[in-house]
C-alpha cells in the first residue's frame, strides 16, 4: 500500500496500453487492475484523457534520461535511434506521447520542452563539430526530428517496408539523413 492508488492507476493504464493498444484502456479495466472501483479514477484525474496525459508525461520523462557521454553527433544519432526503437517497441505509448494532446497538461508540456531543448543542444554541438551544416539550430533539429518521427510512425504503421526487401528500414533512414547532412557540412562553400 506504499505506492498510492494514483500511481497504481497510471501503471494499470500503461500496462493496458501495451497489451491491447489505446482502445483497451477503459477506466473500468484500469480500476479493476488497480483494485478499486470503476469510479475511483475520478478522484485522482478529471477525466480519462487527464489520466492518459499523466501516463504520457511519465513515459516522456522516463525516456529523457540516459544520454550517454559521447560526442554530440554520436549522441544525437543514438537519441534518434532510441526514438525510432521506442515507436516500434511501444507504439501505443509512442502515439500517446507524440500524438495530439486533448488535454492541457503543464506536466507533459514541461517534459516535452526539456526534451526539445536537449535535442537542440545536441544539434548545435554537432554543428560546432562540423558534422552538421551551419544554420538555425532549432530548424535543423526539427528537420532531424521530423525524419526520425516520420520513419518511426510509418514503420510502426507498417507503411515503410513496401517490398519487404528491407531497403527502407527506419534506422537506416536516420543514418542516411545524418550522413547526407555531414556531407553538406563538409562540402566546399559552406559557412
Task: Give yes or no for residue 43 binding DNA (CB under 7 A).
Answer: yes
Tell me the three-class secondary structure of 71-137, residue by residue.
CHHHHHHHHHHHHHHHHHHCHHHHHHHHCCCCCCCHHHHHHHHHHHHHHHHHHHHHHHCCCCCCCCH
Please, what is the angle between helix 106-128 and helix 137-157, to 10°? Answer: 110
Q: How far is the CB of 156 from DNA (least distance, A)?
A: 23
Residue from 168, 171, 178, 191 touching a second copy (CB under 8 A): that is 168
Task: Give yes or no for residue 36 binding DNA (CB under 7 A).
Answer: yes
Q: How far is the CB of 189 from a second copy (least distance, A)?
A: 9
CB 108, CB 56: distance < 8 Å: yes
The CA distance from 183 to 187, in Å, is: 6
Task: Give yes or no for residue 26 binding DNA (CB under 7 A).
Answer: yes
Size of the site for a second copy (CB under 8 A): 46
Task: Give yes or no for residue 183 binding a second copy (CB under 8 A).
Answer: yes
Q: Which of positions 70-129 make contact with a second copy (CB under 8 A)?
A: 91, 98-101, 112-113, 116
C-alpha cell at 187: 562540402
Q: Which of positions 41-60 make contact with a second copy (CB under 8 A)?
A: none
The CA distance from 171 to 99, in Å, is: 21
Q: How far is the CB of 39 from DNA (least distance, A)?
A: 4
Task: Give yes or no for residue 133 binding DNA (CB under 7 A).
Answer: no
Look at residue 53 and give its three-state secondary structure. helix
Of 1 and 187, which has the nearer Cβ to a second copy? 187
Q: How far is the CB of 185 from DNA (least distance, A)?
A: 49
Task: Give yes or no for residue 145 binding a second copy (CB under 8 A).
Answer: yes
The CA distance from 16 to 14, in Å, is: 5
Give residues in contact with DNA (CB under 7 A): 5, 25-29, 31, 36-40, 42-44, 47-49
Amino acid at each position: 500500500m506504499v505506492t498510492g492508488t494514483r500511481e497504481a492507476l497510471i501503471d494499470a493504464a500503461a500496462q493496458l496500453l501495451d497489451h491491447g493498444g489505446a482502445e483497451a484502456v477503459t477506466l473500468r479495466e484500469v480500476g479493476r487492475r488497480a483494485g478499486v472501483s470503476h469510479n475511483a479514477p475520478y478522484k485522482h484525474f478529471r477525466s480519462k484523457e487527464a489520466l492518459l496525459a499523466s501516463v504520457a508525461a511519465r513515459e516522456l520523462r522516463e525516456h529523457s534520461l540516459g544520454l550517454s557521454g559521447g560526442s554530440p553527433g554520436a549522441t544525437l544519432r543514438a537519441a534518434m535511434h532510441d526514438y525510432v526503437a521506442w515507436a516500434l517497441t511501444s507504439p501505443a505509448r509512442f502515439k500517446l506521447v507524440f500524438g495530439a494532446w486533448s488535454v492541457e497538461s503543464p506536466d507533459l508540456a514541461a517534459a516535452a520542452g526539456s526534451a526539445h531543448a536537449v535535442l537542440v543542444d545536441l544539434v548545435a554541438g554537432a554543428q560546432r563539430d562540423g558534422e552538421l551544416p551551419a544554420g538555425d539550430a532549432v530548424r535543423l533539429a526539427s528537420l532531424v526530428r521530423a525524419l526520425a518521427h516520420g520513419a518511426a510512425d510509418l514503420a510502426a504503421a507498417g507503411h515503410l517496408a513496401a517490398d519487404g526487401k528491407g531497403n527502407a528500414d527506419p534506422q537506416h533512414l536516420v543514418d542516411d539523413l545524418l550522413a547526407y547532412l555531414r556531407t553538406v557540412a563538409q562540402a566546399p562553400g559552406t559557412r
